[in-house]
Amino acid sequence: MVDANQHHQQKQVLQPVLVLGPPLIFEHFESQYSHKYTFLKAFASSLPIEQFLETHRVDPTSIRAILCNPFQRVSAEVLRLLPSLGIVVTSSIGTDHIDLAECYSRRVQVATAGGLFSEDVADLAVGLLIDVLRKISAGDRYVRRRVDEFQPWNYPLGSKVGGKRVGIVGLGKIGILVARRLEAFGCRVVYNSRKEKAFVSYPFYSNVVDLAADSDALVLCCPLTEQTYHMVNREVMLALGKEGVIVNIGRGALIDEKELVQCLMEGKIGGTGLDVFENEPNVPKELFELDNVVLSPHAAALTLECFNSTCEDVARNLEAFFSSQPLVSPIMDA
């Protein structure tokens, strides 16, 4: 009987964590930390959050933490339902899915995956650029279609990577890693960012149109904000030109996707490599038939190493919060 009581008491002190949109890591994370937290799986229900809490008889004032992924909006409405909320932990680098202004006004801390993804995302950005220029994916399809034989002399020429002038939009943690990798290939790096970086010697452009006009390729590494929404519009694409390539590992809505499709169909730009899309998981069908387009399923950070590190980082942020310690990777402190 004593053991049963102790077990009951232990269950009583588990901290509730509201899970909105499960991170890829969640199943593993839950198995590792279910002894510390009660996971309220709102993502598994079709009910609005308020009704979900009512149905499961959860007192909204008991919830102090939210765990989410970048595909589930953490809106002001959701935040206002939880008067005791103290932290939102996202398994992503980006925070455009979280109402940061509301978090700030309510003194809710926000923690991200920090720099865990940076190297993996930079690797894929460079990989997409090489793929588009050297036609790797297109060549793979060409060989597979021929089955028994292929004729390299009939295959379109690719383009050299070394010597290309690559404009990086957003020279933060990921952007600088992309730049360093491209330097190793002999590329010349130029960039646009919110402000000029004193610690680099790369030429700075305050205007994305001017950056595009002086680049052979653009790599988008910046966050999605009101200011960066559709920053790559038709004017930028035309400035980049018919041989120009666009790589996006930031957020889909950095690009005006309809204009991108149109410019690709009209031959106004040379190609694109996309890991993100404006209306995920929907992808414009016109892109599927184009050999100068390489598509990736928002997978830039999906490596085993990153998976394990993200689990640890989420756990450390939650542990720090519930222990009243500084967060490991805060984007916003209370």
In terms of C-beta density within 10 A (0-12 exposed, 13-18 middle, 19 or more buried), how is residue 131 classed?
buried
Is residue 106 annotated as a catalytic residue, yes or no?
A: no
In DSSP terms, 188 is beta-bridged to 165
Can you tell me the distance from the alpha carbon of 244 to that of 221, in angstroms, rounded to the nearest whole number?
A: 17
What count of residues does the chain have?
A: 334
Tokens of 229: 């929404």
In DSSP terms, 90 is beta-bridged to 68
Element (H, E) at 77: helix 76-80
Cis peptide bond upstream of 152, omega within 30: no
Can you tell me the distance from the alpha carbon of 71 to that of 325, in angstroms, rounded to the nearest whole number?
A: 28
Q: Which of 97, 181, 251, 278 is catalytic?
A: 251
Angle between helix axes 118-134 and 136-146 (nearest 10 degrees) is: 60
Q: Which of 64, 97, 181, 298 is catalytic?
A: 298
Q: Which of 280, 286, 312, 319 is catalytic?
A: 280
Is residue 251 annotated as a catalytic residue, yes or no?
A: yes
- C-beta atoms surrounding 267 within 10 Å: 9
CA atoms lying within 13 Å on the CB side of residue 162: 3
Report the amino acid identity of residue 312.
Answer: E
Can you tell me the distance from the alpha carbon of 175 to that of 193, in angstroms, rounded to the nearest whole number?
A: 10
* Active site positions, annotated: 251, 280, 298
